[in-house]
Amino acid sequence: MSQAKEIRPHQKKALSTPDVLNWLLDHAMIIIILLLAVYVTIRVPAFIKLPNIVNLISLTASRLPMALGVAGCIVLAGTDLSGGRMVGLAGFLVASVIGSVAGVGGVLLAILVVLITGAAVGLVNGFCMGKFKLHPFIVTLATQLMIYGLYLTVSNSKQIAVSSFVSQPMFYISGRPVPWYVLLAVIITALMWLVWNKTTFGKNMFAVGSNEEAARVSGVNVLMTIVCVFMLAGALYGYTGFVEACRIGNSSATLGLSYENDAISAVVIGGVSFVGGTGKISGVILGVFMMQLIMTAMTFLGISGGVAYIIKGAVILIACILDMRKYRAKK
Amino acid sequence: MEHAEALLRMEGISKSFPGVKALDHVQLTVQAGTVHALMGENGAGKSTLMKCLFGIYHKDEGHIYLEGQEVNFANSREALDHGVAMVHQELNQALKRNVMDNIWLGRYPKIKGLPLVSEKQMYADTMRVFEELDIHVDPRTVMSKMPVSQRQMVEIAKAVSFHSKIIVLDEPTSSLTEQEVDHLFKIINMLRDRGCGIIYISHKMDEILRISDEVTIMRDGQYIATRPAAELTKAEIIRLMVGREMTNQFPPKLDTVGQEDIMRVEGLTAEYSHLKDVSFSLKKGEILGVAGLDGSGRTELLENIFGAATRRSGTIYKDGNRVQNRTPQESIKNGFALVTEERRATGIFGILNIQENTVIASLKNYLKGVLLQSGKMSSSTNEMIQAMSIKTPSQKTKIQSLSGGNQQKVIFGRWILTNPDVLLLDEPTRGIDVGAKYEIYQLIQRLAEAGKSVIMVSSEMPELLGVCNRILVMSGGRLAGEVDADHTTQEEIMTLAAMYV
């Protein structure tokens, strides 16, 4: 994209048809989702009732930390495919640790183990990207295979039952349980907001994503920044594995399968661009929420799995086309 | 000792790359409180010398002293911390971030006792620097929303914010208007009064003579001379730079203009820019200049003719027939060629070699069945290398390693191979040194002589007057007038250029 084109003076004029169209296109994603919500509500009124909304929020909370992690990688103009398998491995580790160490100690140890394991995987991912200049798509494509292989080797593909406080209800709203992981997701999101917006690390992350060379000549440790972004992402996948294993109640080979796709999709729908250097925490939250909303809406409408996938894919494609409008200069 | 007092002293600096000695015992001494111009043709070694200073390249030989202390910076950040800053020609900025995020990148102020960045202090510090420099930019503006000139000011402010003792400005005025140049010079003078040493790299001699105290001239990787600016004239600088007398900046004009019109444009109006209702005609063998201020619609005119921008209305006739030129592809088929303004961004394929860059627009000429014939491509490339005396080790050399002038010649070669009738040239000599400019002028004339027609956009009026037959003057997206290059003055052109501003 040429910068020179952006300095062209814009003629200010009264609100015209193209302006309205532009506004609609800029907000098309939200408009589509709202229309969908209205449509589903008309067809199935229970959709807008409190129990379903509580359910939606819980689902969003379970997937949000993972999306926040991968969002950082995308801000770097990269990506991370290792998330889903990391969730699977973390689920197994959690199940094993909680199964062998009883009580609060076991839970805390489990969390510690998955955070460290996730960060270690992130370290490898980030190091390969930052040091060897590999595209993270390739790096994480390779590492996710290795993680899965590791899981199969150590677990013997056994299912292990697991439970802990995180999936227990904190309180009830209209009879629906609000689990503890909702609170944890709120805390993690708040921390991530601080990290992204108020810390040197966060600002460096955006700078590296926007112009790596500019960051380098300004004295930013680019390698360290990339490594830390991936480590943070890895730790969040580990945490997600902990929550998911407890929520589902066991660890299995399919745990986490294609979670990375869902997370990346949600992040992109939320306006974190693959162009790099842009994105907001609020966008990620919205993106994850929208994904869950679409999936729930489809269940409510009784749409079959096959059609649901087609719609999900279409939504991602449309979101990206709309997003790219912002970066493409018209000539 | 006199030496110890110099702010910066570089001595006996040598640097070799495989096959080339880029610097051969070069010296440079900058006194505090002076503006020191560094001049030389492209490829003379100016930027290599600066890269050695900043540790981007490691010098093979020589010593660098900063206020008498020997220094050896490992990277640009270390140089910055020692008060040596560089404002690059190619602005290195995080465009999606805002002004203050860019200025304090790598050294964000912290909130006391917390690992958090203090936006408040960043804002205040930025405003302080801006006030000092009389820059009127909101520190919260996103970089990509600002014109290049303002981004350049931000970069200068960044250098100042490091309390730099030495600031290197590399072609700082290439994208500035005259008022902005004045502002920049005010800032430079202020920094000089404060005791800073400014190293000023530019090809624009008028500016150099106006702003600098001393001038160091380099040629072919060697130190030639350092003279007080007051004792120098343009002719003298050129003589030192090219090592030969160059009384004429332009080759003598030839009478190449034919009788019949080759192209006619009627009521050209753009969809996404302010280009409005432009009509003119072009004769065979004519060199038609396009003058105007920045933003007057010159580039847009070329892009609309070539189909690189969307046309709203207007018609183009070539050889009497209406042509559509909806896309560059179609325009090339119709015998048009466009040499773009931003060579690096839209001209060269940096990591591809000379041959690939040369034949890319005419690949169909080398097809045999579905395969390209490499022998034929290589002989065409050789032809172009020779015809334009392109200085390159081989045609397998990556184009990004050539100097700007040689890159431009390769791009000319690329379009000549498409055998166009109408060449659209956008700032064909921007960022190119004097010697190479002369060669480009000759090339343009040779093309006209061969019956090609040329439309040439340029910001340098002497160039338009010296090379063109006729000059169109654009203003505010419209055609303000048309002048005969041999009987007009710079004043007349300026008056027309200001008509619709």
Residue range A207-242, pLDDT digits in tens: 999 988 888 878 889 999 999 999 999 999 999 999
Residue the block writes with tokens 């000139």: B149
Contacts 24+ apart (CB under 8 A), B380-388: B380/B417, B381/B354, B381/B355, B381/B413, B384/B358, B384/B409, B384/B410, B384/B413, B384/B416, B384/B417, B385/B354, B385/B413, B387/B413, B387/B416, B388/B412, B388/B413, B388/B439, B388/B443
Name the pLDDT band for B247 (thresholds 50, 70, 90): low
Return the closest-CA partner of residue B47 out of B170, B155, B226. Answer: B170
Q: Which residue of A has its CA nearest to B109?
A: A200
Indicate whether B278 pLDDT > 80. yes
Nearest 10 degrees: Cα torsion B78, B79, B81, B84: -170
Contacts of A211 in chain B (CB under 8 A): 92-95
Q: Which residue of B has its CA nearest to A221?
A: B106
Cα separations (Å) of A278 from A5, A189, A203, A326? 20, 18, 11, 11
Contact A203 B117 (CB under 8 A): yes
**Residues in CB range of B276: below 8 A, 6 or more apart:** B269, B270, B297, B477, B478
User: Which stretch, A138-152, A308-322, B157-171, has highest mean pLDDT?
Assistant: A138-152
Question: Could you report the per-residue pLDDT of B14-67, keeping only the tens digit for each?
Answer: 998 766 678 999 999 999 999 999 988 766 788 889 989 988 889 999 999 999
Contact B94 A206 (CB under 8 A): yes
Contact A330 B147 (CB under 8 A): no
Strand order across the beta sheet in which B20-30 lies:
B69-71, B61-66, B8-17, B20-30, B222-228, B214-219, B34-39, B197-201, B166-170, B84-87
- For residue A28, tell me if it sits in a domain: no
Quote the CA–CA distance of B82 and B189 in Å, as a whole number.
Answer: 22
* Best residue of B51, B90, B96 to probe chain A, by most A CBs closer than 10 Å: B96
Contact B116 A217 (CB under 8 A): no
Q: Which residue of A has its CA nearest to B295?
A: A8
| Shortest alpha-carbon distance between residue A331 and chain B (Å) | 4
- For residue A13, tell me if it sits in a domain: no
**Residues in CB range of B450: below 8 A, 6 or more apart:** none
Indicate whether B317 pLDDT > 60. yes
Question: Could you report the per-residue pLDDT of B356-412, keeping only the tens digit for each?
Answer: 999 988 888 898 888 888 899 999 999 999 888 888 888 888 888 888 888 888 998
User: What does the pLDDT average to over B144-150?
Assistant: 82
* Best residue of B97, B100, B145 to probe chain A, by most A CBs closer than 10 Å: B97
Return the closest-CA partner of residue B10 out of B197, B236, B205, B243. Answer: B197
User: Which among B106, B115, B119 has the least Cβ separation from residue A218?
Assistant: B106
Q: What's residue A8's pLDDT?
A: 42
Q: Is the dihedral of CA A236, A241, A242, A248 positive or negative?
A: positive
Question: Could you report the per-residue pLDDT of A68-104, keeping only the tens digit for each?
Answer: 999 999 999 999 999 999 999 999 999 999 989 888 8
Q: What's residue B406's pLDDT?
A: 87
Q: What's residue B305's pLDDT?
A: 95
Query: According to the 3-state scheme, what is the secondary structure of B337-358?
Result: EEECCCHHHHHCCCCCEHHHHH
Q: What's residue B246's pLDDT?
A: 52
- For residue A8, tell me if it sits in a domain: no
Counting one residue from chain A and one from chain B, the pairs whose CB atoms sit within 8 A come to 101
Report the number of distinct structural domains present in chain A: 1
pTM value is 0.77
- For residue A36, tell me if it sits in a domain: no
- B434-449 vs B234-242: helix crossing angle, rounded to 10: 90
Contacts of A206 in chain B (CB under 8 A): 94, 96-97, 101
Q: Which domains does chain B have, with CATH numbers?
A: 3-242 (3.40.50.300), 248-335+420-501 (3.40.50.300), 350-418 (no CATH)
Quote the CA–CA distance of A25 and A11 in Å, as a whole number.
Answer: 20
Q: Which residue of B has its CA nearest to A208?
A: B94
The enclosing domain of A243 has a CATH number of: 1.10.3470
Helix (H, G, I), strand (E, B) or coil at B224: strand
For residues A130 and A277, the answer to whether their CB atoms sit within 8 Å is: no
Contact B117 A198 (CB under 8 A): yes
Q: Which residue of A has its CA nearest to B306?
A: A331
Indicate whether A12 pLDDT > 50. no
* Best residue of B105, B145, B275 to probe chain A, by most A CBs closer than 10 Å: B105
Average pLDDT, chain A: 88
> What's the one-letter identity of residue B160?
V
Quote the CA–CA distance of B500 and B461 in Å, as a whole number.
Answer: 19
Q: What's residue B369's pLDDT?
A: 85
Instruction: Find the chain A residues whose C-beta atoms sit closer than 8 A to any C-beta of B.
Output: 2-4, 6-9, 11, 194, 198-200, 203-204, 206-207, 209-211, 213-215, 217-220, 276-278, 330-331
Q: Nearest 5 degrees, angle CA B102-CA B340-CA B146?
A: 25
Contacts of A11 in chain B (CB under 8 A): 274
Question: Could you report the per-residue pLDDT of B205-241, keeping only the tens digit for each?
Answer: 888 889 999 999 998 788 999 999 999 888 888 778 7
Residue the block writes with tokens 């070069």: B26
Contacts of A278 in chain B (CB under 8 A): 96
- For residue A29, tell me if it sits in a domain: no
Tokens of B204: 């624009």
Indicate whether A1 pLDDT > 70. no
Quote the CA–CA distance of B475 and B485 in Å, as a whole number.
Answer: 18
- For residue A25, tell me if it sits in a domain: no
- For residue A260, tell me if it sits in a domain: yes
Quote the CA–CA distance of B326 and B306 in Å, as a whole number.
Answer: 8
- Structure letter (DSSP) for residue B257: -
Average pLDDT, chain B: 88
Quote the CA–CA distance of B127 and B132 in Å, as a whole number.
Answer: 8
Q: Nearest 5 degrees, angle CA B404-CA B406-CA B412?
A: 105
| Shortest alpha-carbon distance between residue B233 and chain A (Å) | 34
Q: Which residue of B has its CA nearest to A209?
A: B94
| Shortest alpha-carbon distance between residue B407 and chain A (Å) | 19
Contact B105 A220 (CB under 8 A): yes
Name the pLDDT band for B93 (thresholds 50, 70, 90): confident
> What's the one-letter identity of residue A128?
C
Contact B148 A217 (CB under 8 A): no
Quote the CA–CA distance of B174 and A48 in Å, as a whole number.
Answer: 60
Indicate whether B266 pLDDT > 90. yes
What's the domain range around A159? 49-325
Contact B342 A4 (CB under 8 A): yes
Helix (H, G, I), strand (E, B) or coil at A101: coil
